[in-house]
Amino acid sequence: MTVKRLTLSGITFIFAVYLTLATAYAQVASSSSQTAATTQIDYQLPYPGMFPDNPLYFLKVFRDQLTAFFLSKPLDKAQFDLMQSDKNVEAGYLLGTQQVGKSDLAIATISSGEDDFSSAIDQTEAAKKQGYSILEMSKKLDLSNQKHMQVIKEIEGQVGKAQSQELKNELNRAEAFAKKINALR
């Protein structure tokens, strides 16, 4: 009888954790998407769902790493990395602009997003070497990179001097990514 209870409890726990992480959230129009009209960047960053300051964030990270592990095609990995990058940049934007005292976490989250973006470029290069058509993916990468630069510039004016320098470093990375993307085509 206790084995059945343990099994049932374990299944219930896993199901509850999955529901917490897989719940769909309504998309909230953030300031980054509203200012896109003024700079003519037609690219919508996805709502990140759970933020890095959430105590259950490690479960989301584990789920994402598990998902990435099971992707085998480089183009699929590139699309997944791009989505993760966009979510992290949007999370960083929302943390930096809408939550007081979270600018360090915002910058770290944006940096993580740019790391994912670098991985997306690398996976796209691997896909190109394997003969996949990467034209559509390179366009997405280009638009996403432009949006990332716009978001970084917006946050840069709202943080302190030391943090502003970190954002300038991320902006320099994004500009280097633009050159890599152009070389992909």
- Whether residue 28 is predicted with pLDDT greater than 70 in this model: the reply is no
Question: Does a structural domain hold residue 22?
Answer: no
For the entire predicted model, the pTM comes to: 0.77
Q: Model confidence over 45-68: pLDDT tens digits?
A: 999 999 999 999 999 999 999 999
Q: Which residue has the higher pLDDT, 14 or 99?
A: 99
In the numeric block, the tokens 């592990």 are attached to: 69
Residue 97 covered by a domain: yes
In the predicted model, what is the mean pLDDT of the chain?
85
Is a pLDDT exceeding 80 seen at residue 36? no
Tokens of residue 11, six digits:
């299944």
Cα gap 62→59, rounded to integer Å: 5
Q: What phi and psi, each to the nearest 5 degrees, are found at residue 21? A: -85, -25
pLDDT band at 37 (very low <50, low <70, confident <90, very high): very low
DSSP state, residue 53: T
Alpha-helical runs (H) found in 130-160: 135-156
* Per-residue confidence (pLDDT) for residue 20, from 0 to 100: 58
13 found inside a domain = no
Domain of residue 98 covers 29-184
Q: How far apart are CA 102 and CA 24, in angstroms?
A: 25
| Counted domains in the chain | 1
Instruction: Kindly provide the residue ranges of all beta strands, DSSP E only, lying in 80-167, ordered along the sequence.
Output: none
The string of pLDDT tens digits covering residues 83-123 is: 999 999 999 999 988 888 888 999 999 999 999 999 999 99
Nearest partner of 44 among 62, 57, 30, judged by Cα: 30
